[in-house]
Amino acid sequence: DEAAVQLAKSRVEKYTLIAPFDGVVGLRRVSVGSYLVAGADIVNLEQIDPLKVDFRIPESFLPAVRVGQPIAVTVDAFAGREFAGKVYAIDPLVDEAGRSIVIRAIVDNPQHLLRPGVFGRVAVTLATRENTMFVPEQAIVPVGDRVQVYRIVDGKSVPTFVRAGQREKGQVEILEGLKPDDMVITAGHLKLPRPGIPVTIMPPGGLRPQTPPAGGAPKPSTGAAVPPADGAPSTANRPNPPGRGG
C-alpha cells in the first residue's frame, strides 16, 4: 500500500550519503557486507580546488604581509611551473619557539594537479622598488668588505666602488656608484692590475676583438661581456635600465 511505499522511500533516503561539499572521492575503506558502527569512515572526500596552503614567515616580516597579497607556489612534481594564489589569513599568534607566524593562502587548482599534503615552496613579494638597476654578478669584484666594478671609459678600465643590494638570478642590484649608460667589464678582471689599462670589447662569442691593437700601443686587456638578463647576446654590458625589482 501507499504507507509501505513511503516507509521504504524513507529508509532509502536514510541510507543515501550526501557530501557536504563538492570534492574528489578517495579510496573506499570498507567492502560490501562489512559491518559498520556509528561514526565509522567509509571514504574520504577532499576539496582540492581551491587548496589552502599554510606556510611560516619570520615575525620580522609581519608588517610586509597582508591579506590578499599574491604568492607563487612551486612543487617538485611540476618543476618549472608556478601556481598562483593569495594570502587568505594571518595567524594572530607568534610561535614562541621559532619566532614565526603561520600564513594561510588560497591557491586555485582547476586541473587538480596539486594534492593535499604535497610539499611546496612559497614565494611572497614583500616589497617592490621602482627604478632599480642590475649588473651581471660576474662584474662584481670583492675588495675587502667592499665591492667594485670596472667601468670602460674612453676605452680604458676604471675601477669604481659601488654599493650592492640584492642578488637575483645571476644579477646584482646596484644602489650607488653607476649610471644606466655606464659600460662594465664582466670578464678578464685578473688582467687589470691597475687603472687605465686599455680594454678591447669582444663581439658575441668572444672570438676576436672588434678593433685590433694599434701598432706600438700597449697591449690591451680583453674585456668580455655576458648576455644580459633577457638572455640575448651582447658585445658590451651596461647596467640594466631602471625597472622594477622585488
Q: Is 208's pLDDT higher than 60?
A: no
Distance separating alpha carbons of residues 185 and 159, to the nearest angstrom = 10
**Which domains, ranges and CATH numbers included, belong to the chain?**
51-124 (2.40.30.170), 129-245 (2.40.420.20)
User: What pLDDT was estimated at residue 192?
Assistant: 76
Binned at pLDDT 50, 70 and 90, residue 237 comes out as low
Distance separating alpha carbons of residues 44 and 68, to the nearest angstrom = 30
User: What pLDDT was estimated at residue 170?
Assistant: 86
Q: Is 207's pLDDT higher than 50?
A: no
Q: What is the mean pLDDT of the chain?
A: 80
The average pLDDT across 193-208 equals 71
205: left (phi over 0), alpha (psi -120 to 50) or beta: left
Peptide bond into 227 cis (omega under 30): no
User: What pLDDT was estimated at residue 14?
Assistant: 80
The average pLDDT across 47-65 equals 90
| pLDDT 10s digits, 102-134 | 999 999 999 989 988 889 999 988 777 777 889
Distance separating alpha carbons of residues 182 and 70, to the nearest angstrom = 35
Q: Is 39's pLDDT higher than 90?
A: no
The average pLDDT across 148-166 equals 90
User: What pLDDT was estimated at residue 102?
Assistant: 94
Q: Is 245's pLDDT higher than 50?
A: no
Q: Is 218's pLDDT higher than 50?
A: no
Q: 170-191 burial, b if ≥16 CB within 10 A, otherwise e?
A: ebbbbeebbeeebbbbbbbbee
Q: Is 228's pLDDT higher than 60?
A: no
Distance separating alpha carbons of residues 157 and 52, to the nearest angstrom = 54
Q: Is 203's pLDDT higher than 70?
A: no
User: What pLDDT was estimated at residue 239?
Assistant: 61
Percent of the chain with pLDDT over 70: 82
Q: Is 230's pLDDT higher than 80?
A: no
Binned at pLDDT 50, 70 and 90, residue 17 comes out as confident
Distance separating alpha carbons of residues 89 and 55, to the nearest angstrom = 11
Q: Is 215's pLDDT higher than 60?
A: no
User: What pLDDT was estimated at residue 161?
Assistant: 94
A 10 A CB-CB count for 57 gives 17
Identify the weakest region by mean pLDDT among 42-51, 107-116, 209-218: 209-218
